[in-house]
Homo-oligomer: A and B are copies of this chain.
Amino acid sequence: MLPKALDDLIEALGVLPGVGPRSAERYAWALFKRPQVKLNEIAEAISSLHTKVKLCPKTFALISDSEEFSKLYADERRDRKLIMVVEQPFDIIPLEKTSKFNGTYHVLGGAISPIDGIHAGDLKIAELIKRVKEDEVGELILATNANIEGESTALYIQKMMEDAGLGEVKLTRLARGLPTGVDLAYADQITLSHAFDGRKEF
């Protein structure tokens, strides 16, 4: 019923996470209404992604092709003995915005999730252990997501650290509790349990 070129585009857009056929159709129609020069810009940005962007060989953060390492690793002011372990490259952005952290990052590239076909071997865990040894890391902040996959991944890393004879390295997790600005009445039970367990003296 649709022109083939449009079907092809809808199928191509369908590979994006969370984009079903209806969203892909809306995106295709929105693109159709853009001027050609804009379409060329987007097409160029997509096709040149791999030549212009790569992963830092140490931290696996996204860096420019002209860079050797992530600035957040190469900068001497960053403490390499303190590593924040995150799932995805974009997790670094909100963490950096806090300006609270002066260590370095390590991007796992996901979390263990057998249902989605993501196993421990798919993540940059061996590379993390190597960094911990080489840089004599004193603390790993396991900042994986606050869900089952994130927790499993944190537990797995703990076990790997022990197996590698690095059991004395401090492992921490980000605090769990009430997010700022949320009414107690709307908080879910798990969040409230964590907030209760982690309560602090007033």
Q: Which residues of A are in contact with B by a Cβ distance under 8 Å?
A: 1-6, 8-9, 12-13, 15-19, 23, 25-32, 34, 36, 38-50, 52-53, 62-65, 67, 71-72, 88-90, 92-93, 96
Q: Are B27 and A64 in contact (CB under 8 A)?
A: no
A26 CB, nearest partner CB in chain B, Å: 5
A-side interface mostly: helix
Q: Would B38 and A3 count as touching, CB distance under 8 A?
A: no
Given contacts A16-B31, A38-B15, contact A90 B25 (CB under 8 A): yes
Chain B residues near A48: list those with CB within 8 A: 5
| CB nearest neighbor in B for A27 | B16
- State the copy count for this chain: 2
Q: Contact between A12 and B41 (Cβ–Cβ < 8 Å)?
A: yes
Which one of A8, A29, A49, A50 has the highest number of Cβ atoms from chain B below 10 Å of its Cβ? A49
CB contact between A3 and one of B2, B31, B46, B52 (< 8 Å): that residue: B52
A65 CA to B18 CA, complexed, in Å: 31
A15 and B16 CA atoms in complex are apart in Å by 15
Residue contact B47 to A39, C-beta cutoff 8 Å = yes
